[in-house]
Structures are given as C-alpha cells and as structure tokens.
Amino acid sequence: MAEDPRYRRPTEVPILQADLSEDKRCLGWEPGVTFRDLVRIMMDADLDAAGLPVPGQGARCLTDGWLAWLQRP
C-alpha cells in the first residue's frame, strides 16, 4: 500500500503551542499547574533520577497544591 504524502507530518515542528481557550469555554477547565511549577516538578524528577541533590521545590508544588492526591503514602 502506497503512502499518501498529504498525510505526512514533519518529525520536527517549528513550534508547539496549545490554545486552551476552547477547553476553558466548553468545559470550564483551567490548568492547575503553572508553567513555572511544572518546570520545578520536572527538574526535581530529573535531578533525582540522575542521583543529584534535589532542591525540593517541585515536590513542594505537588504536596502543597491541588496535585497532592497524586502523592502516594
């Protein structure tokens, strides 16, 4: 079966940007994590995985914020 080039997607897109306005309007959904907190959470996870000291700001975002339910005992 031949591949139709019209349906090919480039492997690297120049920009990835979400527009949440439709989600907010239709669902009343708002993101619960700021971009800054997301970066803190990801940095803590990466540093921990590399065996390096973790500042703990990302963990604090998880335990103090609405994501506290994700924390397992």
Report the alpha-carbon distance of residue 48 to residue 59 in Å, rounded.
Answer: 11
Asked if residue 70 has pLDDT above 70, the reply is no
pLDDT of residue 67: 61
pLDDT of residue 50: 95
Burial class (CB in 10 A: 0-12, 13-18, 19+), 59: middle
Q: Domain residue spans in the chain?
A: 32-73
Which residue, 32, 35, 40, is CA-closest to 56? Answer: 40
Task: Cite the DSSP H helix spans in 1-73.
Answer: 21-27, 35-49, 57-64
Report the alpha-carbon distance of residue 22 to residue 30 in Å, rounded.
Answer: 11
Q: What is the pLDDT of residues 5-28, one digit of tens each?
A: 888 877 777 787 888 888 889 998
Q: What is the pLDDT of residues 31-67, one digit of tens each?
A: 878 888 889 999 999 999 999 999 888 878 777 765 6
pTM for the predicted model, two decimal places: 0.57
